[in-house]
Homo-oligomer: A and B are copies of this chain.
Amino acid sequence: MSRLHRGTIMKKKRTIWTGVGLGILLTIGIMVSGCAEKEPVTVQTVQIPEGEIDPVVWGKAYPVEYDLWRQTEEPTQDGLSKYKRTGFDADRPTVDKLSKFPYMALLFSGWGFGVEYNEPRGHAHMVRDQLAIDSARLKSGGVCLTCKSPYAPKLEQDLGVDYYKQPFKQVLSQIPEEHKTLAVACVDCHDANGMSLKISREFTLGRALQDMGIKRNDLTHQQMRSVVCAQCHVTYNIPKNEQNESVGVFFPWQNSKWGNITIEDIIRTIRRHPEVKEWTQKVTGFKMAFIRHPEFELFSNNSVHWKANASCADCHMPYTKVGVYKVSDHRVRSPLDNQLRACGQCHAEGAEWLQERVFAIQDRTVSLMLRSGYATASTAKLFEMVHQARDGGKPVDEEMYNKAKEFYEEAFYRSVFIGAENSVGFHNAPEALRVLGDAIAFAVKSESFLRQILAKAGVDVPLKVDLELKKYIDMRGEHKLMRDPELEIKDPMNLQEMF
């Protein structure tokens, strides 16, 4: 046991004895004063200084939550989730998402996500994993710390635009040595004075909420139990200047309404902001934007659990007993990794029954994810062929080409929206499946235009487009990463092989 940990437990014991003593005093006080109305006295043995970041200090006041929070470092049981492996096996510290979904290697080729893209581990690992990943993933600069370090708001305030654009490690070096790899901490979600939930990322989520006309005071405590998570579990864009340096970060919610942030509105926003086309897709040569883990967007868009007034914390931080305490479980994780205990708070059915429901949704989502992902990848390869033909002097119908490109982008963003979202459709099943259905419609329609263009140019496209996946998935980046065929997710509906 670490010194730190031991210290915490000793502190906890002291706190309990202090509590017992106070309890006796309070009881006597109440007996003496009878029913006279008095202001209740808040017992607070530890004062957390304003602006304190160090979780150890917070842990003195809240030792139970602190200990649970520390547990995000520990592996979860493997095999409970069907489509997410958290990658804690000794021989496999990371799980390669590109091996799980090989079409992503093709689609993301051209920048960091196409080099190394791993399934996330527990919160505690976020900065450590960021330092271990291929440096291609850190090219955007200091901005990458926005969701990783509790120092981010202070750094943003101190450095201004330099926070976004300076090299990642340069900005990281501004963080005190002992906290360099400190991940999301108490201060990211809580107000030191009274522990109420707060928005620490005023410069991202705060502004995005403002854009939708939402003020902090409009939000209930229960809504805040989702909003604090929405500081990071959202998609975001990084606008670039002419030197391709990062100059900010924003959530593309300007066209959306609270409870109704749609992929359609996000795509519209992206199209209006060419400065957020952060990268160039290798296969097509197109400048593209990107969609990151839009958990909050998908969940809050009229999903059944959102409408039932459930919050992120209800399912991912369910109330749990620790000795005599009942606290919100700060070991944030998937309900699947916790035997669906969170679900049991509302649903009387057993864990096995509930798990089957989750898998029924995820099986269908994964099936259409594969359909839309491979369709989009095939279309990308056809663009490559069209570009070759055009470069070789063949005529290309411009109107049809432009429509194909427009549809390709519509498909790409939709496919990535659900592919990056961490619930494999569960957060909002009908919406996830609808979005994938449309991704398929746009991708294959684009393919149909490109096949026509190529046929007119005298290029014969076979029934199955050769994706040349090896080219994109093997020998990736600094670590020469290779495809791991064992990880590949196969279509649970057995249809993908028909295409």
**In angstroms, how far is the closest chain B Cβ from the Cβ of A167?**
42
Give the distance in Å from the alpha carbon of A313 to the alpha carbon of B400 in the complex: 52
- CB–CB B400/A430 < 8 A: no
In the complex, which of the residues B357, B365, B445, B461 contacts A307, with contact meaning CB atoms closer than 8 Å? B357
Which of A84-92, A117-125, A151-159, A448-456 lies at the interface? A448-456
Name A398-454 residues within 8 Å CB distance of B: 399-400, 403, 410, 425, 429-431, 433-434, 436-438, 440-441, 444-445, 447-449, 451-454
Copies in the complex: 2
- CB–CB A437/B264 < 8 A: no
Q: Name the B residues within 8 Å of A481 (CB-CB).
A: none
Q: Name the B residues within 8 Å of A493 (CB-CB).
A: 264, 434, 438
In the complex, which of the residues B448, B494, B498 contacts A448, with contact meaning CB atoms closer than 8 Å? B448
- Chain B residue with the shortest CB-CB distance to A375: B441
Interface: A175 (CB within 8 A): no
Q: Is the interface of A mostly helix, strand, loop or mixed?
A: helix
Give the distance in Å from the alpha carbon of A356 to the alpha carbon of B494 in the complex: 33
Q: How many residues of A contact B (CB 8 A)?
A: 52
Interface: A17 (CB within 8 A): no
Q: Name the B residues within 8 Å of A76 (CB-CB).
A: none
Q: Name the B residues within 8 Å of A361 (CB-CB).
A: 430
Q: Name the B residues within 8 Å of A325 (CB-CB).
A: none
Interface: A26 (CB within 8 A): no
Q: Name the B residues within 8 Å of A447 (CB-CB).
A: 444-445, 448
Give the distance in Å from the alpha carbon of A77 to the alpha carbon of B429 in the complex: 31
- CB–CB B448/A307 < 8 A: no
- Chain B residue with the shortest CB-CB distance to A452: B451
Interface: A190 (CB within 8 A): no
**In angstroms, how far is the closest chain B Cβ from the Cβ of A439?**
9
Interface: A81 (CB within 8 A): no
Interface: A367 (CB within 8 A): yes
In the complex, which of the residues B410, B444, B455 contacts A441, with contact meaning CB atoms closer than 8 Å? B444
**In angstroms, how far is the closest chain B Cβ from the Cβ of A71?**
32
- CB–CB A437/B433 < 8 A: yes
- CB–CB A463/B434 < 8 A: no
Q: Name the B residues within 8 Å of A214 (CB-CB).
A: none
Give the distance in Å from the alpha carbon of A308 to the alpha carbon of B437 in the complex: 27
Interface: A368 (CB within 8 A): yes
- Chain B residue with the shortest CB-CB distance to A439: B437
In the complex, which of the residues B400, B436, B445, B460 contacts A499, with contact meaning CB atoms closer than 8 Å? B445
Q: Name the B residues within 8 Å of A353 (CB-CB).
A: 307
Q: Name the B residues within 8 Å of A455 (CB-CB).
A: 451-453, 455-456
Given contacts A264-B493, A357-B304, contact A368 B452 (CB under 8 A): no
Name A270-327 residues within 8 Å CB distance of B: 302, 304, 307-308
Given contacts A433-B437, A445-B499, A495-B264, contact A399 B364 (CB under 8 A): no
Given contacts A429-B429, A429-B430, contact A438 B495 (CB under 8 A): yes
Q: Name the B residues within 8 Å of A264 (CB-CB).
A: 493-495
- CB–CB B434/A307 < 8 A: no
- Chain B residue with the shortest CB-CB distance to A361: B430
**In angstroms, how far is the closest chain B Cβ from the Cβ of A467?**
15
Interface: A371 (CB within 8 A): yes
- CB–CB A368/B304 < 8 A: no
- CB–CB A449/B451 < 8 A: yes
- CB–CB B364/A431 < 8 A: yes
Give the distance in Å from the alpha carbon of A87 to the alpha carbon of B444 in the complex: 38
Query: Which A residues contact B (CB, under 8 angstroms)?
Result: 264, 302, 304, 307-308, 349, 353, 356-357, 360-361, 364-365, 367-368, 371-372, 375, 399-400, 403, 410, 425, 429-431, 433-434, 436-438, 440-441, 444-445, 447-449, 451-456, 460-461, 463, 493-495, 498-499
Beyond the given pairs A264-B495, A433-B434, 18 more chain A to chain B contacts, judged by CB atoms under 8 angstroms and listed by A's residue number, are: A304-B360, A308-B349, A364-B430, A364-B433, A371-B441, A375-B441, A399-B463, A400-B463, A429-B433, A430-B430, A430-B433, A433-B433, A434-B493, A437-B437, A448-B451, A451-B455, A453-B455, A456-B460
25 A–B contacts from the bound complex (CB under 8 Å): A302-B360, A304-B360, A307-B353, A361-B430, A364-B434, A367-B434, A367-B438, A368-B437, A375-B441, A400-B463, A410-B498, A429-B430, A429-B433, A430-B430, A433-B434, A433-B437, A437-B437, A441-B444, A441-B499, A444-B444, A444-B448, A448-B448, A451-B455, A452-B455, A453-B455
